[in-house]
Amino acid sequence: MPTSEPPAPRRVVLIVDDIPDNLSLLHDALDEAGFAVLVATDGAAALSRAARQQPDVILLDALMPGMDGFEVARRLKADFTTAHIPIVFMTGLTETEHVVAAFDAGGIDYVTKPIRPREVIVRIAAHMQGARQMSLARNALDASGQATLAVRMDTGELVWQTPRARQLLAEFAPPDGARAPADLLHWIESAATARTAGQTVLPFSLTVGDRRLVLNLNEQTPDGEWLVSLREESDRASIEALVPAFGLTQREAEVLYWVTKGKTNRDIGDILGLSPRTVHKHLEHVFAKQGVETRTAAATLAINRLKAGGD
């Protein structure tokens, strides 16, 4: 019998409000629209549920007893596990200072009370789509092993990082929570100014022992976030980058790396403690995975991939 496609997982909305009538109204409307709905009635519960269950968007009441919505948003954005989640504020406050406070705290939008469910649904669906596209881009970077991060300059916030970028930054310049290191912020500011003026943008480098981390400024997103790529310059880092690039084993990546340095099979065997015949067998596997037939072609592909990783 033909099998049907499994239903797509429902997108998850976390509603944070201390008023039961508001929760009930939004819960029913979102549920009928096909969303999975989580609720929290105070700031502490919101922080816990967001970290544990990773909703696709958060509808956050601005004024609650105890920890208000602005503080909840700041704490969510200060935690790298929740910083990527879009926050839409719900507020009866329409004065300019309150709207500004919502955006300063990390909100991407706001809706005014009394709540109009259809308007809320349209707004969060649009923000979910944008967040989903960004998530797909991040996942593609993660899968390729590239180290990339995004910085929001007005707050100094590390909006998101690929796992490799998070690892490198922790090793070279541990951030203060979700805030980017001060030296990195200063460099982005000066590099962005230089780019606007049509000047050459120089990379930023950090050194720990015999290891060197090089950062390059990429483009600015429509949301005003700067993308930065990171590349460690060392033999070890280059070998690790070749593994996901071509689907190699660790040993195959080591052999290929030394081929890019012009080493013969005997040289590589001496470096890695292998016989020349074993090196040759590893190279055969490398050629097959790269779809090439010669050492020169294999080395060229590897060198180009290593260069691209830092662009």
In angstroms, rounded to a whole number, what is the distance separating the alpha carbons of residues 295 and 311? 25
The pLDDT value recorded for residue 257 is 93
For the chain, domain boundaries: 12-137, 145-233, 235-308
At 236-268, the pLDDT tens digits run 888 988 999 999 999 999 999 999 989 999 999
Beta bridge partners of 215: 204, 230
Tell me which residues of the chain have a pLDDT lower than 50.
1-6, 310-311
**Correct CATH for 12-137 of 3.30.1370.60, 3.40.50.2000, 3.40.50.2300, 3.40.190.10:** 3.40.50.2300
CA within 13 Å, CB half, 285: 16
If you ran DSSP here, which 8-state letter would residue 218 be given? E
- With CA atoms as reference, report the closest residue to 226 among 249, 257, 271, 194: 194
User: 231 forms bridges with which residues in the sheet?
Assistant: 214
Write out pLDDT tens, residues 177-191: 778 889 999 999 999
Q: In whole angstroms, give the CA distance from residue 303 to residue 12.
A: 43
Residue 145: predicted pLDDT = 59
The DSSP secondary structure of 100-138, one letter per residue, reads HHHHHTT-SEEEESSP-HHHHHHHHHHHHHHHHHHHHHH
pLDDT at 130: 66
- Per-residue model confidence as pLDDT tens digits over 75-106: 998 887 788 888 999 887 766 777 888 888 88
pLDDT at 1: 44
- Mean pLDDT score across all residues of the chain: 85
CATH class of the domain whose range is 145-233: alpha beta
Q: Provide the pLDDT for residue 134.
A: 62
What confidence score (pLDDT) does residue 57 get? 92
Class of domain 235-308: mainly alpha
